Each structure stands twice: as C-alpha cells, then as structure tokens.
Chains A and B, each alone.
Chain A
Amino acid sequence: MSTPIITEKKWLRILLTSISLLFMSLFLLVPLGTIFYAALQKGLLLYVTSLIEPDALAAIRLTLLTATIAVPINLIFGVCAAWAIAKFNFIGKQLLITLIDLPFTVSPVISGLIFVLLFGAQGFLGPWLIQHNIKILFAVPGIVLATIFITFPYVARELIPLMQAQGNDQEEAALTLGANGWQTFFHITLPNIRWGLLYGVILLNARAMGEFGAVSVVSGHIRGLTNTIPLHVEILYNEYNFVAAFAMASILALLALFTLVAKTVVEWKL
C-alpha cells in the first residue's frame, strides 16, 4: 500500500474514486438494481405467480435438467484435463490447453451454428438421425449438448493453475509411502484442490444455467418444451410481459450474486 510520500493529493484521490464509483454505478449497480426493482414493481404476489406459471416451471425444469447433466460430465473432464496438464509434460500439451480455451474465444452463436451443421436435417449427421428417429436439434438433447460444449472449460481452467502452483511434492511423498494412483488422488490431491473445485463447479453451474446464445440457436424456442430460463426471459420480454421476464431473470441474477460470494469465500480460503 502507498506510503504518504508516494500517493496523490487528497482531492485527486476523492475525484478518482468518485469517477470510478460513478462508472461502476452506471454500468453495473443500476442495471442490477433494475432487475429486482422491475420484478417486484407490481408486488410480491405477481412476482411469485410469474414463477409458478406452467411455461415458467417447464423452463426452470429444463434448465435444472441441463445443469444436472452438464455439470458432472464437465467436472470429470475438468479434473482429468487438469491432472493431465498439471502433472505431466508431453508433446502437444500447449495445443491441448489452447483447445480447452476455445469456447471462451468463439462466439456462442458460432457454437450453436456448429451444432446445427452437425445435427440439423441438412447437417452432417442429419439423415442418420432422421433414419433412427432421434431428435437432437430443436429438442432437449440439443440444448444439453450445446450447454456441455459451451461450459466444459470452466472447471479445468480453475484447477490447472491451482494444481500447477501446488506442485507434485505431496503426491510424490504419498507414492513413496506406498499409495497407489487412486489413493493418492483421493487422500492427497482432492483435499488440496477442494475449494478451487467447489468454485469451479459453482461457476460451471451458473454458466450452464445462464447460457443463452448457443442454446438460442439450437432450441427452436418451443414454449413449454425447449425453453430454458434465459430463453423464456427473452420471450416474455419481447411480449412486453416485463414483470414476468424480470421475475425469471431475478432467479438467475440471484444465482450470479451467489456465485460472486462463493468466489470471495474460496479466495479467502485459498
């Protein structure tokens, strides 16, 4: 922290702080507040009613289902990838790391497009799917797959730097004491990474539930069937049904705030 000699004059500090706070308010605080204000504007009753409306419930159910499938799969992948990358050196490791980062750099709509190209009626696997009467696009499987694709890096990206920083010493010690691979992983590695893992899962879950762009392309927007919470929010908003839209949005906003709090807790623990 700065000592009295090397910091700015008080008036300048106050000015800079105020400008930053103003910036943060304009772009973050006010819009955040708007969500809850608009949701509760017409009273608590209307808020709750919007949430238990059949199409809304269907959207909530689909979102939960998607998350329930995407999170464990990507968790396993994340742990495997982090172990592979943090503990070993091999040719092509850098390429692997770049590939893992891919969903971050590619626009979500491109991801959706790829799925259409793969599974659509005119797509690569299209004819085969029609033949076997399997519906992926514009149906639940498509949404789940798209979500898995978009969110797979999250746990890996959280764990890799953590495991690299922790090094291999403790695992090597466990091996010299006679532990095999699984024992080493469960008794030594896992406890050491548990907070990073937990945060990775929370973040993964939040992103899985909130994914919009890619899912928008593959879902077909069929009310009550292939709408997730974000998609349902879009529909309600476009129908000028503001209270309902913001009510659904508030669920996701609360989840986002929860994620932020979790991050703070994890950072404090680490």
Chain B
Amino acid sequence: MEPLIKFTNIKEKSVLPGFGITVGFTILYLSLMVLIPISMLFIKTSALTWPQFWEVISAPRVVASYRLSFGASLLGALINAVFGFLVAWVLVRYPFPGKKIIDVLVDLPFALPTAVAGIALTTTYASNGVLGRFLEPLGIKAVFSPLGVVIALTFIGLPFVVRTLQPVLQDLDPEIEEAAACLGANRFKTFFQVILPAVFPALMTGFALAFARALGEYGSVIFISGNMPMRTEITPLLMITKLEQYDYTGATAIAVVMLVVSFSLLLTINLLQWWSHEDQPN
C-alpha cells in the first residue's frame, strides 16, 4: 500500500494559484520602490556624528519651522475634529437640499492637486480676495501669516475626519439613543454621554490622520504662507531650501526627524484603529 505522505509547511499554503508570482513581484517592487530609497536616508544621515546631527536639527530656524508645522497642523486637525464631526453628523442625520453634492465634495481636498489648492486658497483669502476682503478691515491677515498656514492645513485634513466618522455614525444603533430617551436623558445628555463616547475612537483616528497628513504637507501651504524664515516657513520647505543649497546632510537630518514623527503617528493610528475595532462587537 502507499506509504504515508508528509508535507512540511512553512506557511499556510492556499490552493489558490499565483502565490509565488504575486508575492514575489510585490516584494521586488516594494524593495525597489520603498526599502532601498528609505534606507538611503539613514545611510546618508549616518555620515553625521550625534553632536553634529543635533546641531543641525536644533538650529533656531529649524526649530521655528517645527513649531509652525507642528502647531499649525495640530490646530488644523483640531478645527477639523470639531467641524468635521459637525459635517459628518449633518450629512448622516439631516436631510437638506444639495446634500449629495456636499457629500461628494468632502473628498475634494483628497482629489485636488496640492498646488491648485494652494493658489486657490491664497487668491481667495488675499486682502483683495473674495473672502479676504472681509478680513482686512478686521485687521486679520490670512495670507503670508501663520493663520494662512492653518487655513491651508485645515483644508487638507477635512476629508479625513468626515470620512472616518461617517460610517461609524451611520452604524450607530438607534436603539441606544432610544434607550437613553426612555431613561429620561435629553438630547444634550444623550449626545455627550452616549453618542460621543461611542464614536470617540473613530474621531481620534480621523484627527490623527488629518494631523499626520498636515505635518508633511507642502504644495498647498507654500503659496499662502509667504515662506518667511523664522515666521512662516514650514519644515518641508526648509528641507527643500537646504537641498537647493546643496546642504544634503542638513536636509537629510531634518527629513529623518520628520520620518520618525510620521512613523510614530502611523503606529498610533494603527493602534487607534485596532482599539476601535476591539470595541465594536462585529
């Protein structure tokens, strides 16, 4: 009779065909496109000693750019957290004319090239612009100022909060609100004590995504900001400036700092998403 046949499995092999080709090609592509280029960064930076590295990334102009990039991104993400929530709420729950169009347009910052967004926002908020002309008499300078940077970064982050919240709000079981009403809670109480906690993980995720996106943003900011060193110069721009001056190591050092922050944020976002899936009993 036939002897027993043994298989040694290193991985869980599925019977669907194409494993070798697809995984192999994917890994090859990613190595060429991602791994090798990224490792370049770290190799280049290693040319600097630690003190030198520190000196570069803590120079006053650089630190000023961190403050601006970080601060404006944070502010923009916060604005989006509040108003993005509002927009998501209104889109999910209230009927109004033109709702479909607004819903579609939420994705505009995602689909529109950053340079186009940049010039559009600048022209709109300039002192002779359609909206800017109302701000001028109030003494508010919306372009060539940190405020302009905040405006641009709010624009960029808008879809992230709305799109993360919409499905969660949609899936909220109306029965929990009905239960709260039966127990005597008015709408305010219900909102703050029942609804908000339920969607909080999604809100946090949207906020983190908007924040991460804003930190690295370039095209939509450089037109409206004015790019004045120490005042309205964002970190990505400073990096490019150094590059144009052939200060490769300086540019790389700053890039490494940005990368580290990005990765930490990415990790946080993944953790947040894992946390929010833990909560939903799906």
B-binding residues in A (CB < 8 A)? 1-3, 5-9, 12-13, 16-17, 19-21, 23-24, 26-35, 37-38, 77, 80-81, 83-85, 87-91, 96, 98-102, 105-118, 120, 122, 124, 148-149, 152, 168, 171-172, 175, 180-181, 184-185, 203, 206, 209-213, 216-217, 230-231, 233-234, 237, 242, 245-246, 249, 252-253, 256-257, 259-261, 263-264
Do the beta carbons of B19 and A28 come within 8 Å of each other? no
Do the beta carbons of A230 and B219 come within 8 Å of each other? yes
Distance in Å from the Cβ of A149 to the closest Cβ of chain B?
Answer: 5
Residues 83-108 of B, flagged 1 when their CB comes within 8 A of A and 0 if not, give: 10011011101101000001011111
A-binding residues in B (CB < 8 A)? 11-12, 14-19, 21-23, 25-27, 29-30, 33-38, 40-41, 43-44, 83, 86-87, 89-91, 93-94, 96, 102, 104-109, 111-117, 119-121, 123-124, 129-131, 151, 154-155, 158, 174, 177-178, 181, 187, 190, 212, 215-219, 223, 236-237, 239-240, 243, 246, 248, 251-252, 255, 258-259, 262-263, 265-266, 270
Residue of A nearest to B117 (CB): A31
Considering the complex of A and B, which 8 residue pairs feature the smallest CB-CB distances, nearest first?
A107-B216, A210-B113, A181-B17, A212-B219, A84-B22, A213-B218, A31-B120, A256-B111
Do the beta carbons of A80 and B26 come within 8 Å of each other? yes
The CA of A85 and the CA of B26, in the complex, are separated in Å by 10
Given contacts A28-B109, A152-B33, A213-B218, contact A88 B83 (CB under 8 A): no
Do the beta carbons of A109 and B25 come within 8 Å of each other? no
A-B contact pairs, 26 of them (CB 8 A): A2-B177, A3-B178, A5-B181, A27-B154, A28-B155, A29-B105, A31-B120, A31-B124, A84-B22, A88-B16, A90-B12, A107-B216, A107-B236, A109-B237, A113-B252, A113-B255, A115-B37, A184-B16, A206-B111, A210-B113, A213-B236, A217-B243, A230-B219, A252-B112, A252-B116, A260-B105
Residue of A nearest to B155 (CB): A27
Do the beta carbons of A101 and B158 come within 8 Å of each other? no
Residue in contact with A23 in the complex, picked from B37, B40, B83, B121, CB distance below 8 Å: B83
Residue in contact with A90 in the complex, picked from B23, B236, B240, B251, CB distance below 8 Å: B23
Given contacts A17-B94, A149-B37, contact A237 B120 (CB under 8 A): no
Residue of B nearest to A229 (CB): B113
Do the beta carbons of B115 and A109 come within 8 Å of each other? no
The CA of A211 and the CA of B265, in the complex, are separated in Å by 23
